Amino acid sequence: MKAIHVTRFGTGEDNLAFVEDAPKPDLAPNSADILVKVLATSVHPGDCRVMDGSVSLVMKPKEFPYVLGMELCGVVEEVGVMCKRFKVGDRVVASLPSFEHGTFTEYVAFDSQLAVLAPKNCSSEEATSLIVSGCTAIQALKSAQVVTNGKILILGGSGGVGTFLLQLAKIRGVSTIATTSTNAQLVSSLGADQVVDYREHKWWELLAGQNFDAIIDCVGGDESWQHCDHVLSKSGRFVAVATDPEASIRSVMDLIRFAGPAMWRSLNPFTTSYTLVVSFPKEKEMQELVDMVDKHDLKPVLDPSSPYDFTLEAVQRAVALQRSQRAKGKLVVRIDDP
């Protein structure tokens, strides 16, 4: 079985390997698991963080080598005797359990509770991009607690989460202003009422005094938090989807340095309300996303370079682009044709 292995921690792409003799998984006896033939998978920021070892204290692979990836779209090839939700031939989307990996391969076996039927109105490549980023966007909007006719600022509107946030906000009747650099046309097409080029403007100066109900930060770094009071209303909320991309959590002291400021911001009654979203996709949210796609209310956005071929060189390029934070939507790899 073909697979992309991560062979060790590393900040480049030379710790990836393409293998053709990976063992095909078996279903556990008397389980509700499903065996899925993978059609497509995606590269996620979390994949890169695990690969480079920067969060090894809290997100460490069980062993090396391990198979890259956490979300997929595929076809059910076999069902466990206790599985009543799916049948052979069903096309599903799924996210593996928290802190587990293994979708850059031809077959994956996992608990059927982690999957829902894929949308009927999109390709497998589009469907695989839904789960992690889409569920993160749903959870971020819930944390923002913005009602119809509210107004939010989305920092980083052209990434995987940002593209879903813009569409979900529009569905809910929420006005949005989004920051981006070269992707203004894309962000506008997804529903942004105003686009701010962060290369030309400091958003906290350009938008000062506009009294946003919430900021949702998909970029990370301390700068956004430090300037949020310039644009938020007195009751406004700051929701962090991304943290400092340079942060390291390799030791207990690293964890204290990382978690301490976030906890203080969350608990301090004298500062702006702060929430750090750590997304764990739930079945209800996954189904909500699928339903919106089937109703044509929501469309997954893929980077123009997607889909990538299932080769070592192509996956290395996808990982490099993800690390650059310059993707215009999701980065997807086609594992097999439907």
| pLDDT per position as a tens digit, 108-130 | 999 999 999 999 999 999 999 99
Q: Is the dihedral of CA 133, 139, 144, 145 positive or negative?
A: positive
Gap between the Cα atoms of 239 and 215, Å rounded: 6
Domains and CATH numbers, the chain: 3-130+281-334 (3.90.180.10), 132-276 (3.40.50.720)
Contact in structure between 238 and 246 (CB atoms under 8 Å): no
Neighbours of 331 (CB within 10 A): 25
Residue with tokens 């997807």: 332
Q: Give the pair of three-digit tokens for residue 22.
A: 């990976």
Query: Residues 278-325: pLDDT tens digits?
Result: 888 999 999 999 999 999 999 999 999 999 999 999 999 999 999 998
Task: Please tell me the predicted confidence (pLDDT) of residue 249.
Answer: 81
Query: Residues 257-277: pLDDT tens digits?
Result: 777 777 778 877 767 899 989
Gap between the Cα atoms of 262 and 306, Å rounded: 34
Mean of per-residue pLDDT scores for the chain: 93
Task: Please tell me the predicted confidence (pLDDT) of residue 270.
Answer: 63
Is 179 buried (19+), middle (13-18) or exposed (0-12) by CB count in 10 A?
buried
Q: Is the dihedral of CA 34, 300, 306, 162 positive or negative?
A: negative
pTM of the model: 0.93
Start-to-end C-alpha separation, the chain: 17
Task: Please tell me the predicted confidence (pLDDT) of residue 221.
Answer: 84
Residue 264 CA, distance from chain mean position: 25
The residue type of 309 is: D
Task: Please tell me the predicted confidence (pLDDT) of residue 242.
Answer: 80
Q: Is the dihedral of CA 83, 88, 92, 96 positive or negative?
A: positive
Neighbours of 284 (CB within 10 A): 10
Is 250 buried (19+), middle (13-18) or exposed (0-12) by CB count in 10 A?
middle
Task: Please tell me the predicted confidence (pLDDT) of residue 338.
Answer: 66
